Amino acid sequence: MRKPLMAGNWKMYKTPAETASFFEKFLPLVANSPHCDVLICPPFVDIAAAVAAAKGSSVAVGGQNLYWSTKEGAFTGEVSGPMLKAAGCASVIIGHSERRQYFGETDETVLKRTLAALESGLQPIVCVGERLEEREAGRTNAVLETQFRDGISKLTPEQFAKVVIAYEPVWAIGTGKTATPEMAADAHRALRALVQGAYGKDAAAAVRILYGGSVKPDNVKGLMAQPEIDGALVGGASLEAVSFASIVNF
């Protein structure tokens, strides 16, 4: 059985003070939610506030990106895996479509960052997903295959066992257009088949695949009713405590 993971991706929202007040409201609302793992990925500058606020709770904190060198060095503006780990992070999002679209992220750099996360003891949450024109051209599965092949298929089985995959159709992110539960489940099945091809049946049965893209309190139930969907990566609806808690408590 795969335990669901509900992960909030705060993107470039909230200050440290706003982070603290989110946790004050959020923690009591998810205090009795042992059915799933809960993760908040705030901006780097809010990680200390989030880790302090989450102390003693079961809510974990993660980064939204990391640099692929695990050694400190002259890389202005970058943050390393060991730094995230030392700051109290458990996980890190890698290859989010906004990173791919606006910041030059490629399957190759996704792989490098995934290796750095693993080397740092962080759980990588690796994002894949097609753009609207790719879906309309019937290329969804081909795109997922390329992203998988050139990215996380190159890990060892031991490394892969620590990875969470997030299927995030780019056209559904921040647009209010959610994939239907069936569309999402189809893509998850395609991804699981790729995992099976590369790592075998047990790895395919074990890997958690999250859905991301306009997950809201009113559509999470339908998505989670699909056995293929093991949780959600939530942007906008994770910013407000009551909203994200109702997603966690789907």
Q: How near is the Cβ of 7 to ligand PGA at its closest, in Å?
A: 8
Catalytic residue check, 96: yes
Kindly tell me which residue out of 14, 220, 235, 248 binds ligand PGA, with binding defined by CB under 6 A.
Answer: 235
Residue whose CB is less far from ligand PGA, 151 or 213: 213
Residue nearest to ligand PGA (CB): 235
Q: How near is the Cβ of 26 to ligand PGA at its closest, in Å?
A: 17
Residue whose CB is less far from ligand PGA, 84 or 215: 215
Given the residues 134, 168, 188, 228, the one annotated as active site = 168
CA distance 70 to 81: 6
DSSP result, the chain: -PPPEEEEE-TT---HHHHHHHHHHHHHHTTT-TTSEEEEE--GGGHHHHHHHHTTSSEEEEES---S--S--S-TT---HHHHHHTT--EEEES-HHHHHHS---HHHHHHHHHHHHHTT-EEEEEE---HHHHHTT-HHHHHHHHHHHTGGGS-HHHHTT-EEEE--GGGTTTS-PPPHHHHHHHHHHHHHHHHHHH-HHHHHH--EEEESS--TTTHHHHHTSTT--EEEESGGGSSHHHHHHHHT-
Residue whose CB is less far from ligand PGA, 97 or 140: 97
The footprint of ligand PGA on residues 192-221 (CB under 6 A) is 212-215
Q: How near is the Cβ of 233 to ligand PGA at its closest, in Å?
A: 4
Residue whose CB is less far from ligand PGA, 13 or 204: 13
Catalytic residue check, 168: yes
Residue whose CB is less far from ligand PGA, 192 or 216: 216
CB of 70 within 8 A of CB of 116? yes
The footprint of ligand PGA on residues 131-170 (CB under 6 A) is 168
Q: How near is the Cβ of 178 to ligand PGA at its closest, in Å?
A: 8
CA distance 164 to 148: 13
Q: Does 91 bind ligand PGA (CB under 6 A)?
A: no
Q: Considering CB under 6 A, how many residues would be counted as binding ligand PGA?
A: 13
Active site residues: 96, 168
Q: Which residues bind ligand PGA (CB under 6 A)?
A: 9, 168, 173-174, 212-215, 233-237
